Amino acid sequence: MFKPTAPLFRRVRRLALTTKMTNKGFYKGNRVGSTGWISKFGNFHVDWNKVRTYVAPHGLRESILTPFVTKRIEKEKWSGPEGENPMSGKVYLERWKTENGVD
């Protein structure tokens, strides 16, 4: 006999497990390991042998690689009409009407 829900059920089972699919107390996390332990008094103690440390390569200051956006560019100060914020509701609606027409 044909069962249309069986293929759908298999498709659903291949989806990633989320916290909403499980009972209380399930926490999936970010695939990061434990960096310490919780004492019997509820305090967290860091185990510094488990903490990840990243060592910068030698000669990084002299590298020819640059960031996508330099930090030396001054931040552009923008003020709309009457000194309003560029994302204020009034300015946004006026700009919408001029660029997209009246809806």
The fraction of the chain above a pLDDT of 70, given in percent, is 73
Tell me the per-residue pLDDT of 35-52, one tens digit each, with 9 for 90 and over. Answer: 999 999 999 999 999 998
Q: What average pLDDT does range 48-68 have in this prediction?
A: 85
Structural domain spans, the chain: 30-58
DSSP string for 23-59: -TT-----SPPP-EEE-TTS-EEE-TTTS---PPPTT
Task: Please name the amino acid found at residue 92.
Answer: Y
DSSP state letter for 62:
T
* pTM for the structure as a whole: 0.34
Cβ atoms of residues 91 and 82 within 8 Å: no
